[in-house]
Structures are given as C-alpha cells and as structure tokens.
Structure 1
Amino acid sequence: MSNAAAITVRPVASSAEKKAFVELAYRLNLSDPNWVPELKDEVRGLITPGKNPWFEHAVAEFFLAWREGRSEPVGRISAQVDELVLIHMGEGLGQWGMFEAEDEAVAHALFAAAEGWLRGRGMTRAMGPFSLGIWDQPGLLIKGFDHPPMVMMGHNKAEYEAWVESAGYHGVKDLFTYDLPVDIPFPPLVNRIVANGEKNERIRIRDVDKSRFDEEAQLILSILNEAWSENWGFIPLTDAEIAYAGKKLKPIVLEDMIKIAEYDGEPVAFMMALPDINEFLMDLKGELYPFGFIKLLWRLKKMRPRGGRVPLMGVLKKLHATRLASQLAFMMIEYIRRAGNGHYGITRAEVGWVLDDNGPMISIAEAIESRNNRTYRIYEKAL
C-alpha cells in the first residue's frame, strides 16, 4: 500500500478519458488467454446515457485512477445509484462495478472514490460489482479462471477477490454457472420425465417465432419479470430495456434454441439458450473495423459454435414448487439440447447464472449431471 499517496482518482471528464476508461480493460487483460474482449462499441454504448436505457432510472459516475509519473490510467471503477435498486433492494444501497486495477493500492483508491461518491448521495451501503445492473455482468469471478466465460458473462483477474475483501467487503450472494456436455443424452430419469410430458396433451413446447420477434420478446420478458419477482436482487426490466435487450440479442437468437412452454394454451414458462458468440470475438480484440465486422458477420451466418449458454429461464409463480414446473424445465432443456447439438454442432453448454439459494434450479442442474464450473460473488460493505 506504499504507493497509495502517488495515486489520484478523478471522474471521467472528457471524450478522451471516456475512451481511456474503455480501453483500460483491454490493456490489462489481453494477455489473459481466458479473457474475452467485448466489442468496444458495445462497452461505449453501455456507459452512455441516451444509448443505454438503464440511465433512465439510474445515475453513474465513472472514475479513472492515475499514478504519478504515468501517462496512462492504472485503474477504473463505476459508482451508481439506481432508483429501481432502491425500491426493490432497499433504501441506501449504492453500487459499483466495471472495476479494473493494476495493483491493490490502486484498487483501494478506486473503492475509496466510489464509496465517497455514494456517501455524497446519501447511500449507506455499497454493493458490487455490477456492470452496470444485475442484468449485465454481475459478480466478481472467484472460481473458474481456467476457461473463458460464455456469452454475456464476465472474467477478471484472480487477484481481485483478495483486493475487494481487503477493502472491507464481504460476500452476500454467489452466482453459479453449470457446465455439461450436450452431445450425449441426459440421464434416463430425465428422459422418462420428458417422455411423460410428451404424452400430456395439455403441454405444448414451441419455438419462438423470429418473424414476431418484438412480440415474442415482450412475452418472454413478461414471464421473466413475474417469475423472478421474489428472487434476491431482482430488478424488473423496463419496456425501454426490453426493447434495448431485444435489439442486441436479435442477431444471435436462434428460433429453435428458445422455447416457450404452454399449458392449456397459456404461456407459462420459457427457456432461452444463446450460441456462445464469445468464441467468435476472441481474435477481434474488441475492434469491428476494418475487418472485424466482416469476420463476425461470416461467423454468425455460419453459426457453428462449440458452446451454448442458457442464461435465462422462468416459470410463472403459480407453478413454482410443482411437478409441472420441473417437468416443463426438463422438456425445454432437452429440446434445446437436441437442437443445439443436432442443428449447430454444439457439444458443450453452460446453465446460469443461478443464485446460490435457488434450490429448484440447482436440483435441475444436478439432475442433468452438470457441474459447477464458475462462481461469481457479489460483495457488500457498510459506508
């Protein structure tokens, strides 16, 4: 910590500093073979009011750390106050995220700046990381550094766990992902559950209809908002955020890898799987131009990833803790497994994230003989 006095942290105040905020993550992480460089245009959009509708109910400050004698920044962090977080997770709860630092001294200076900003807005607790909300990339990776994350999941340096904890934070929630092979059938018990469901004329499992994409997205996310409303950390998506997410996801949505379950004609559950386009991004280093755009378009058109991820599923609350809920889940994931492997050559899937207290989902993950491959932790500290 002897270098702390030589570190200055200040808010991003110019377009050049905003560019430096984005670029810093690439400079610090490109040497890690398991770090996936996001498209820089996507990151810029994430942190720009007017582009990301998250800013319609939240405010954020972005900080850069500078060390005396260095021309480039040595760390970054966001601090944010979200009105929906205050409503759904409690008054006085501020958050931070987008954290990157060269060393522990820089980390502590960044946390101090973020915490000071949050205190100045009346916050009494700091929780993170969230980049920027729980629907983006929540949690700090604490297990699973030996392989790249799948689509829409984060990856960070292993040292960050100790630096966060040494700054006085304690873990409040773990998020799990589960890895499983999908080029082999699920266990016999799961297959029997699926077969029994197929005999039930009241159940219909259908693909999404991409020609009615906006309508289908509204349906899926309405089920999600209802199904997840009592989960820890749940923040409902606004109509603008649903439209924004739909626009971003549409190019990678595969109709037969997103399922809607109907019971007596009523949509009651859904499961979404996405191809792991992180595989298509690794060599682009975040840049679409001049040639990255052409490469990405070709890869999306060809669509032969090795992996796929199930980031979201939901069952209406009236079916929670029923046999039907688990049966629908097993049916949807089996149909997605068949489509992913049979149509696109996907051999490995990842389910998650899953909250550490979500017993039913953990039971499903165990029943299909998946294994916990990555754990992300959310931390909190009193201010």
Structure 2
Amino acid sequence: MDARGGIAIVPVTTPDELDRFVRLPMRLNRHDPNYIAPLLMERREALSPKTNPFFAHAEVQLWLAVRDGRDVGRISAQIDALMPQAMGRAGHFGMIAAEDDPAVFAALFAAAEGWLRDRGRDRALGPFNLSINEEVGLLVDGHDTPPMVMMGHDPAYVGGRIEALGYAKARDVYAYLADTTHDLPDRILNRIRRGPPEGVVVRELDMSRYEEEVRDLTQILNDAWADNWGFTPTTEAETAQLAKALKPVIDRRLTWFAEIDGEPAGFIVFLPNVNEAIRDLDGKLLPFGWAKLLWRLKVKGLKTARVPLMGVRRKFAATARGTLLPFLLMDAGASAARRLGYQRAELSWILEDNRAMNHILQAAGAEVYKTYRIYEKALG
C-alpha cells in the first residue's frame, strides 16, 4: 500500500477488492442519466486471468485509491507482450475512474507510471480497457447519449485531469452513427444494384459451423487491421473466448461474410446493442435480470445495434472487386437490421487517420457522433 496526501493506493489482490474495483464507476456515475452500468458478472470475468486469455500474454496490475476508508478512484497498468514493435517500449494504462479531485488522479497515475517505469517502459498510452481490441480511449465528445455495447462512457472532467498530469493526445478514435431505416445513398446503391461482381458471394453467418466461421473472421480481422496504429493480433485463445462470449447475442442475420472465388475475403458484424436491454438492471442479472434481458432481446427486440468488427483482406482491398465489398456488406447488414426493426447502428471504433474507412463510412451516410481520445506521456 502506498499513501500520498492521505490517499492510500491499494493493489487489487483479493476477490473483495476486485468487486470494489468493478463497482466503483457505478457509484461515481450514478447521477449521469447516460451512464449504463455494465453487467457485474461480465466485468469480473474480463478482469480475471482465469477467464480472460489476454492475461496469457500481458502483465496487468489494478489499483484502488482509498481515502478515509472510502474508494475514490481506480486505475490499471498493463504491458502486452504482443504489442507491435513499432510502438517501442510503451506501456498502457486503463480502467480510469475517479472522483473529480486532482489529488486522486495524481496518486493513481503516479502508481501506474511507477509500475510501468519499473518494468522498463518509457511511455504510457491509454486508456485501454484492457487491450486495444477491447474498450479504447476516453470519451471526450458525445456525453449527451448513452454508450453502446462494449464502448465506454466517462465524465467530462476526466480528460482535463489527465491532461493536467502531462498527457497529450496520441490519437482520436471515432464512433459513427448511421440511420438503418433508410437505404444507403444512391451513388452507392447504383453500384450495388448491378449485383456482386463475378466470383463474389455475400452470405449470412453459418451457425452450423460457428467456430470455424469465427476463426475465419479473426484471420480476416488480423490481416485487415495489421497496418493500423497500435493493432495487436487476436490469439487463438482469444478467438475461442470471443466465440463463446458472442454466441448468446449474435444474430446470424446480422453477421455477413463476403467470399471472392471461394475464399473468405471480408465480413461485417452488426451486434445487438445489449446496453439498450440492460440499462435499468444496475449491473445485476439476479434475481430477475436474466428474464428481463432475454425478453428484451428475443421478444421485445432492440432498436439499436453496433458494428464492432468489419474488415477486408489486404490482398483484396485495393482490387476492383475488393473495393466494393465494404458497401456490399454494409448494405446486407443494414437491410437485415431494418427488417428486424433496428433503427440506428453505431460503427466503431475508427482511427482518425484511417482515411480509407472514414471515407467509406462518410460515403455511406454515417456521421461521427462520439470521439474517444488515446493519451500518451513520456516516462522520464
């Protein structure tokens, strides 16, 4: 335990401390009408080495800030062994949540930076919760709407507190919002209505070979995103965990693959926005949360979805047939979403300097409605 100015920094080592770590943002954000408490069970699993394969290739430490016996903040620090060499000797921070007090933020970041520095890191990047393939960045614009599934929501004061500690913008990532009740713009539809080019097939997810489909999806993802800033490939264990986690909520009618000459070449996933269904559950599935969740997902239906994953293999991306795949996939997914009663879809997250993807989404009529910021700081 480290104490700074009456604030004790407590490493999380016990199940009770982990539970406090998970619950803290719920208390801090209880007066924010747009905050949605995540499912406590899911958060505990995401932060446990027993259930999250990320821990197999990363070192992670969590801390609580405690003052006068009360939890007032939290933070994580992590080092991912699979982080690309181009990122140098950077380490990550994440899971930041704290009362609006500069002393609390200073104590938390001092602990995280010291831990990273002791392990040879010369730069801190974040927030990553926990990896770049999960929740990324701090919400800096778009606080007036609730987050969609697997996206963060932070109080407006947090960015200023982080910047006051010497952090500066490394990258912004965008969340786009699209109206699924309307067709794609005519200039896109005119290309699509000619039909897929010869050798191109667009099809739904085949649930009878679900695990194989998820492996194909991951291979395409790792290839398509390989040149993106900071991208870390998904491992086989993470693929298996992803398949297990998504199976209860994924809808085959909202997941589409594109094949070129019989080879999986691209995909898109429209994921039902589970946050819409859990908004009033306060993170709990017991005693009646499960029934409410299942009824809202399967009977009442949802109005919003999120596209967390989309990609086209690089060898096809610049070809005549490959450049059409994103639009064919978006049209197939959006058309299915419209038939199922979905009204809006978030496409996220997109790096600000990913010109190709930003151009595709803007051409499809989507607009940026949230911005998340990744910060960095040199560690002396």
- Is the shorter-chain TM-score for this pair beyond 0.5, marking a shared fold? yes
Match of 1:153 in 2: 151
What's the offset of the Cα at 1:138?
Answer: 0.7
Equivalent-residue separation in structure 2 for 1:375 and 1:263 (angstroms): 34
Match of 1:24 in 2: 24
Is 1:101 matched with 2:92?
no
What's the offset of the Cα at 1:120?
Answer: 1.2
Q: Deviation per CA, 1:224-254: give whole Å up to 9, x if none.
A: 1111111111101110000001111111111
Is 1:291 matched with 2:288?
yes
What's the offset of the Cα at 1:49?
Answer: 0.9
Query: 346, 355, 359: which is aligned to 2:355?
Result: 359
What's the offset of the Cα at 1:199?
Answer: 5.1
What's the offset of the Cα at 1:88?
Answer: 4.0
Conservation of the 8 A alpha-carbon contact between 2:22 and 2:43: yes
Match of 1:326 in 2: 323
What's the offset of the Cα at 1:110?
Answer: 0.4
Match of 1:35 in 2: 35
Q: How does 1:263-278 map to 2 (within 5 A)?
A: 263-278=260-275
Structure 1: stretches of 5+ with no match in the other structure: none
Report the CA distance shift for 1:356/1:199 in structure 2 as closer, same or farther (over 3 A): closer
Equivalent-residue separation in structure 2 for 1:258 and 1:250 (angstroms): 12
Match of 1:381 in 2: 377
What's the offset of the Cα at 1:303?
Answer: 5.9
Q: TM-score, normalised by structure 2?
A: 0.96
Give the aligned length.
376
SS at match of 1:26: helix
Report the CA distance shift for 1:235/1:296 in structure 2 as closer, same or farther (over 3 A): same
Matched residue type, 1:358:
N
SS at match of 1:350: strand
Is 1:226 matched with 2:246?
no
Q: Deviation per CA, 1:112-136: give whole Å up to 9, x if none.
A: 1100111111111111100100111
Structure 2: stretches of 5+ with no match in the other structure: none
* Higher helix content, 1 or 2: 1
Is 1:346 matched with 2:346?
no
What's the offset of the Cα at 1:162?
Answer: 0.4
What's the offset of the Cα at 1:13?
Answer: 2.9
Conservation of the 8 A alpha-carbon contact between 2:87 and 2:230: no
What's the offset of the Cα at 1:301?
Answer: 1.9
Match of 1:14 in 2: 14
Matched residue type, 1:269:
G
Match of 1:236 in 2: 233
Match of 2:76 in 1: 78
Matched residue type, 1:135:
N
Equivalent-residue separation in structure 2 for 1:297 and 1:30 (angstroms): 25
What's the offset of the Cα at 1:10?
Answer: 2.1
Q: Deviation per CA, 1:246-279: give whole Å up to 9, x if none.
A: 1111111111111110112211111111111110
Equivalent-residue separation in structure 1 for 2:124 and 2:198 (angstroms): 50
Query: 77, 87, 90: which is aligned to 1:90?
Result: 87
Matched residue type, 2:99:
E
Q: How does 1:164-179 map to 2 (within 5 A)?
A: 164-179=162-177
Moved more, 6-15 or 35-44: 6-15
Moved more, 296-305 or 24-33: 296-305
Query: 253, 256, 259: which is aligned to 2:256?
Result: 259
Equivalent-residue separation in structure 2 for 1:169 and 1:17 (angstroms): 28
Moved more, 223-232 or 316-325: 316-325
Equivalent-residue separation in structure 1 for 2:211 and 2:85 (angstroms): 27
Match of 1:50 in 2: 50
Match of 1:309 in 2: 306
Q: TM-score, normalised by structure 1?
A: 0.95
Overall identity of the aligned pairs, in %: 44
Give me the CA root mean square deviation.
1.4
Equivalent-residue separation in structure 1 for 2:174 and 2:316 (angstroms): 23
Equivalent-residue separation in structure 1 for 2:300 and 2:111 (angstroms): 43
What's the offset of the Cα at 1:164?
Answer: 0.8
Equivalent-residue separation in structure 1 for 2:201 and 2:4 (angstroms): 61
What's the offset of the Cα at 1:298?
Answer: 1.9
What's the offset of the Cα at 1:4?
Answer: 6.2
Match of 2:161 in 1: 163
Equivalent-residue separation in structure 2 for 1:13 and 1:205 (angstroms): 48
Conservation of the 8 A alpha-carbon contact between 2:176 and 2:347: yes
